[in-house]
């Protein structure tokens, strides 16, 4: 096993990785940008090295500098977390060339699976169903139009180097295709530096269901069950759960075997996630492989009892998988909610600022993966996700109830968050029935009016009195400040007071 | 005996509140016992007739209301003292219409797209411009029907937090 690793990431995922490393007696090296100089993860690591300025292009994406720090500190391996350099084949290769173990798959597997067209070809070759569409990146408008007509509308345009919903557009009819294509290409160009796209059949009301896999470097592969990630807004997941309400043992086995076949064919090792979309008839199609640890990995950890970061470290150090497929047992129900710094009452505008107060009562059946503390700032430089709450119980109802309770007791002041929005999702009938899909929030969901009204006597009294007490406190503080100023200015007030004695 | 008038920003509900003492309050003629402890400048434990509320209350000076959060449900209220109401009357300021209409940048970023010209009429909810920040494109919408009086930025210009982007009338 490694004695020291470097974590090429920040925030909650850096904290998450450092925790497991500590548990295993492995020393950790953090790297940070100007902004993160005193962020939680830098304090928890054994060593911390400055990378550069706050924008990620000047810090967390500086592959050369990260490799240099790893060499200087004697770190034997680099954990890339998610985002940043985690799915960049060139970085995995740089690690290898410098004698540093990349905690993830080899660069060849990253490159094959990172190219959506290659991945799709691999799926087809291995009898894994895929959505009908093009298998080559396209740039020419006329060709794109004729292919779209062949597949039949609606079609989906996707950036070939894309991810996270950027450079993606649904086109419902031919009249819209030119403008949609231009927008997708400009987003793709600015986000990924590559404006080639591909087109596929658009599946109506799909569910997003993904399978966690573990593969060692000796050819053994197991899956750890599914995660239902259909609760998305603008292609960003916000609530994930496992098991999926539509899953049964047969479907799980079938999809799990497909997931295993595809990573095996790619020569994959370490932890990875195979994403599928599932239509209303439970027909599933391969989407892509995420060649890294996922944001939502905790729900799989809780349902299997495994620590995925620990498994990653063991695999990377050359160990064989310690469990076979038959050893994996699932229990209970788990839900994750992503708390984001955004104003859900104002078009989900990202919210920045200083967190002046932060308290929560996790209580039984809850876990939090977070990278923030009270007095931290939330900046414009990085992802707005600040924390993940994970609930678990023997069944789905218990897990939902625990999550709702913990969200209500999560007090964060100084930034706006989506907590109220998460609560309204958890309380809507469709979620309770498990009847939702990736388009649900944008197309179906009606945010219930959960405002307090004057007619609700006790709560109304609390709201009114709280606003008055804040005002009273502020005006009495202003009074004190004025008095102190008078005191400092000295004599006039004092003299007056004395003359009245 | 300080008197206040509290209204909700998104409804017509209005409450008259009188602080009778440090432990007694009257709201719309009904008396309540209360006990308050501040845990931080914006967070308090409030007991009203022995019922517990764990509350955060934050002023939003830009838009002139206070955000009160109980169990992660946020209420926007406008709290005015007798003096505030008197001042408003003297200055002839109409209460109620205090949604600020000029558009300022909510965060530093880049103007990705500008959809409006000076003199253009816009409807509530129209996308006025697209601001890129935190790696996301954010649509800035009109808060009510208005006319664009002045455009203070250009496409692709970078802006600071609270920078004036558009003047609306």
pLDDT (0 to 100) of residue B1: 79
Contact B60, B67 (CB under 8 A): yes
Confidence grade of residue A487 (pLDDT, cut at 50, 70, 90): very low
Q: pLDDT tens across B75-84, in order?
A: 999 999 998 8
Contact A6, A75 (CB under 8 A): yes
Cβ neighbours for A365, distance < 8 A, ≥ 6 positions apart: A391, A392, A393, A398, A399, A402
Domain-wise residue ranges, chain B: 2-91, 103-168
Phi and psi torsions of A459, nearest 5° = -65, -40
Q: Any idea which residue has 């391969």 for tokens?
A: A286
What's the DSSP call for residue A8? -
Q: Any idea which residue has 């087809």 for tokens?
A: A124
Per the prediction, chain A carries an average pLDDT of 91
- Mind spelling out the 3-state secondary structure of A250-315? HHHHHHHHHHHHHHHHCCCCEEEEEEEEECCCCCEEEEEEECCCCCCHHHHHHHHCCCHHHHHHHH
The two domains A132-201 and A332-450 share their CATH topology (first three levels equal): no
pLDDT (0 to 100) of residue B3: 94
Verify cis geometry, omega within 30 degrees of 0, for the bond prior to A243.
yes
Residue A260 has pLDDT above 90, yes or no: yes
The verdict on a CB contact (< 8 Å) between B15 and A454 is: yes
CA dist A45 to A22, A28, A41, A267, Å?
9, 5, 6, 33
Q: Yes or no: is domain A332-450 CATH 3.40.630.40?
A: no
Residue A493 has pLDDT above 50, yes or no: no
pLDDT (0 to 100) of residue A168: 83
Return the closest-CA partner of residue B49 out of A310, A460, A235: A460
Confidence grade of residue A28 (pLDDT, cut at 50, 70, 90): very high
What is the C-alpha separation between A360 and A353, in angstroms, rounded?
A: 19
What is the C-alpha separation between A377 and A384, in angstroms, rounded?
A: 12
CA of A365 vs chain B CAs: smallest distance (Å): 19
Q: Which residues of B54-75 are buried (b: 16+ CB within 10 A; e: fewer)?
A: bbbbbbeeeeebbbbbbbbbbb
Q: Which of the pair, A224 or A193, is modelled with greater confidence? A: A224
CATH fold group of domain A132-201: Dna Ligase; domain 1 (3.30.1490)
Confidence grade of residue A500 (pLDDT, cut at 50, 70, 90): very low
A469 contact residues in B (CB cutoff 8 A): 36, 44, 46, 57
The verdict on a CB contact (< 8 Å) between A383 and B48 is: no
- In this prediction, what percent of chain A has a pLDDT beyond 90? 72
What is the mean pLDDT of the segment spanning B134-159?
84
Lowest mean pLDDT among A141-145, A271-275, B61-65, B112-116: B61-65
The verdict on a CB contact (< 8 Å) between A469 and B54 is: no
Q: Which of the pair, A487 or A52, is modelled with greater confidence? A: A52
Please name the residues between 442 and 481 in chain A that touch chain B, using a CB distance below 8 Å. Answer: 450-454, 457-474
The verdict on a CB contact (< 8 Å) between B77 and A464 is: yes
Q: Is A88 a catalytic residue?
A: no
Catalogue the long-range contacts made by B67-70 (C-beta closer than 8 Å, 24 or more residues apart). B68/A462, B68/A463, B68/A466, B68/A467, B69/A411, B70/A452, B70/A459, B70/A462, B70/A463
Residue B16: closest C-alpha in chain A: A464
Phi and psi torsions of A496, nearest 5° = -60, -45
What is the C-alpha separation between B131 and B105, in angstroms, rounded?
A: 8
pLDDT (0 to 100) of residue B95: 46
CA A481, A487, A492, A497 dihedral sign is positive
* Most A CBs within 10 Å, among B6, B61, B143, B158, to test the A interface: B6
What is the mean pLDDT of the segment spanning B109-115?
89
Domain-wise residue ranges, chain A: 4-85, 104-131+204-327, 132-201, 332-450, 464-499
What is the mean pLDDT of the segment spanning A363-370?
96
Cβ neighbours for A307, distance < 8 A, ≥ 6 positions apart: A20, A23, A301
- This model's pTM is above 0.90: no
A457 contact residues in B (CB cutoff 8 A): 30
CATH fold group of domain A4-85: Rossmann fold (3.40.50)
Residue A498 has pLDDT above 50, yes or no: no
Residue A499 has pLDDT above 80, yes or no: no
Residue A412: closest C-alpha in chain B: B56
pLDDT (0 to 100) of residue A239: 98
Check A207, A227, A233, A292 and give the catalytic one: A292
pLDDT (0 to 100) of residue A480: 60
Residue A452 has pLDDT above 80, yes or no: no
The answer to whether the complex's ipTM is over 0.95 is no
pLDDT (0 to 100) of residue B94: 53
pLDDT (0 to 100) of residue A162: 65
pLDDT (0 to 100) of residue A481: 55
The verdict on a CB contact (< 8 Å) between B77 and A467 is: yes
Q: For chain B, where are the E strands, in sequence order?
A: 2-8, 14-19, 24-27, 30-40, 43-48, 51-60, 65-70, 73-81, 103-104, 109-114, 121-122, 127-133, 136-141, 146-151, 158-159, 164-168
Residue A68 has pLDDT above 90, yes or no: yes
Contact A479, B59 (CB under 8 A): no
- In residues, how long is chain B? 169
pLDDT (0 to 100) of residue A165: 65
Confidence grade of residue B102 (pLDDT, cut at 50, 70, 90): confident
Q: Which of A345, A352, A468 sits opposite B79 (nearest CB)?
A: A468
Q: What is the CA radius of gyration of chain B?
A: 20
CA dist B16 to B7, B26, B81, B82, Å?
9, 8, 10, 10
Architecture of domain A104-131+204-327: 2-Layer Sandwich (3.30)
Q: Any idea which residue has 């999926």 for tokens?
A: A244
Cβ neighbours for A193, distance < 8 A, ≥ 6 positions apart: A161
Pick the CATH number of B103-168 from 3.30.360.10, 3.30.70.1400, 3.40.50.11030, 2.40.50.100: 2.40.50.100
Contact A296, A228 (CB under 8 A): no
Q: pLDDT tens across B7-39, in order?
A: 998 888 889 999 999 999 999 999 999 999 999
Question: To the nearest 10°, the Cα dihedral for A265, A266, A271, A272?
Answer: -100
Lowest mean pLDDT among A276-290, A337-351, A447-461: A447-461
Q: Which of the pair, A501 or A379, is modelled with greater confidence? A: A379
Residue A441 has pLDDT above 90, yes or no: yes
B74 contact residues in A (CB cutoff 8 A): 345, 420
Helix (H) or strand (E) holding A77: strand A77-79
Distance of CA A156 to the CA centre of its chain: 23
Residue B114 has pLDDT above 50, yes or no: yes
Confidence grade of residue B93 (pLDDT, cut at 50, 70, 90): low
pLDDT (0 to 100) of residue B96: 45
**CATH no., domain B2-91:** 3.30.700.30
Helix (H, G, I), strand (E, B) or coil at A113: helix
Helix (H) or strand (E) holding A223: strand A221-233
């Amino acid at each position: 096993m490694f004695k020291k690793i470097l974590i090429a990431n920040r925030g909650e995922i850096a904290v998450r990785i450092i925790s497991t490393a500590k548990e295993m007696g492995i020393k950790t090296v953090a790297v940070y940008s100007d902004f993160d100089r005193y962020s939680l993860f830098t304090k928890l690591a054994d060593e911390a090295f400055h990378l550069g300025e706050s924008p990620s292009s000047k810090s967390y994406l500086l592959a050369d500098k990260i490799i240099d720090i790893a060499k200087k500190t004697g770190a034997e391996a680099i954990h890339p977390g998610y985002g940043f350099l985690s799915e960049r084949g060139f970085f995995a290769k740089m690690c290898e060339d410098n004698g540093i173990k990349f905690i993830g798959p080899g660069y060849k597997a990253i490159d094959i699976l990172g190219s959506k067209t290659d991945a799709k070809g691999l799926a087809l070759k291995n009898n894994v169903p895929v959505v009908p569409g093009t298998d080559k990146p396209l740039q020419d408008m006329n060709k794109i139009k004729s292919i779209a007509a062949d597949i039949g509308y609606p079609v989906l345009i996707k950036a070939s180097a894309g991810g996270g919903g950027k450079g993606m557009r649904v086109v419902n009819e031919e009249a819209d295709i030119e403008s949609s294509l231009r927008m997708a290409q400009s987003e793709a160009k600015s986000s990924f530096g590559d404006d080639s796209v591909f087109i596929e059949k658009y599946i109506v009301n799909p569910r997003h269901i993904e399978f966690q896999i573990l593969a060692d470097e000796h050819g053994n592969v197991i899956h750890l069950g599914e995660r239902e990630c259909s609760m998305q807004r603008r292609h960003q997941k916000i609530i994930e759960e496992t098991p999926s309400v539509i899953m049964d043992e047969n479907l799980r086995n079938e999809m799990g075997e497909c997931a295993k076949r595809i990573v095996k064919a790619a020569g994959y090792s370490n932890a990875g996630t195979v994403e599928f979309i599932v239509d209303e008839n439970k027909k599933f199609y391969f989407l892509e492989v995420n060649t890294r640890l996922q944001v939502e990995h905790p729900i799989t950890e809780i349902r299997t009892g495994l620590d995925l970061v620990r498994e990653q470290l063991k695999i990377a150090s050359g160990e064989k998988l310690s469990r076979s497929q038959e050893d994996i047992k699932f229990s209970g129900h788990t839900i994750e909610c992503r708390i984001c710094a955004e104003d859900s009452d104002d078009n989900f505008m990202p919210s920045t600022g200083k967190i002046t107060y932060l308290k929560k009562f996790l209580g039984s059946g809850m876990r939090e993966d977070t990278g923030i503390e009270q007095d931290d700032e939330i900046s414009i430089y990085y992802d707005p996700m600040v924390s993940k709450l994970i609930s678990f119980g023997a069944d789905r109802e218990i897990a939902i109830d625990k999550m709702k309770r913990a969200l209500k007791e999560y007090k964060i002041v100084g930034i706006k968050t989506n907590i109220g929005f998460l609560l309204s999702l958890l309380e809507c009938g469709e979620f309770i029935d498990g009847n939702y899909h990736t388009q649900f929030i944008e197309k179906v969901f009606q945010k219930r009016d959960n405002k307090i009204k004057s007619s609700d006597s006790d709560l109304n009294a609390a709201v009114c009195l709280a606003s008055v007490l804040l005002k009273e406190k502020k005006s009495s503080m202003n009074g004190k400040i004025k008095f102190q100023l008078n005191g400092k200015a000295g004599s006039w007030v004092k003299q007056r007071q004395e003359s009245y004695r | 005996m300080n008197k206040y008038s509290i209204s909700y920003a998104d409804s017509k509900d209005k409450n008259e509140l009188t602080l009778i003492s440090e432990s007694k309050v009257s709201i719309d003629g009904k008396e309540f016992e209360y006990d308050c402890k501040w845990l931080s400048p914006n967070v308090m434990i409030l007991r009203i007739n022995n019922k517990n509320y764990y509350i955060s209350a934050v002023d939003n000076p830009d838009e002139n209301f206070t955000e009160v959060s109980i169990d992660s449900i946020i209420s926007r209220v406008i709290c005015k003292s007798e003096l505030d109401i008197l001042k408003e009357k003297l200055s002839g300021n109409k209460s109620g219409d205090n949604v600020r209409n000029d558009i300022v940048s909510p965060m530093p970023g880049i103007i990705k797209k500008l959809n409006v010209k000076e003199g253009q009429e816009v409807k509530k909810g129209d996308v006025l411009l697209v601001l890129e920040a935190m790696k996301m494109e954010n649509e800035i919408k009109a808060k009510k029907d208005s006319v664009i009086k002045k455009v203070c930025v250009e496409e692709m210009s970078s802006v600071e937090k609270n920078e004036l982007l558009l003047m609306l009338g």
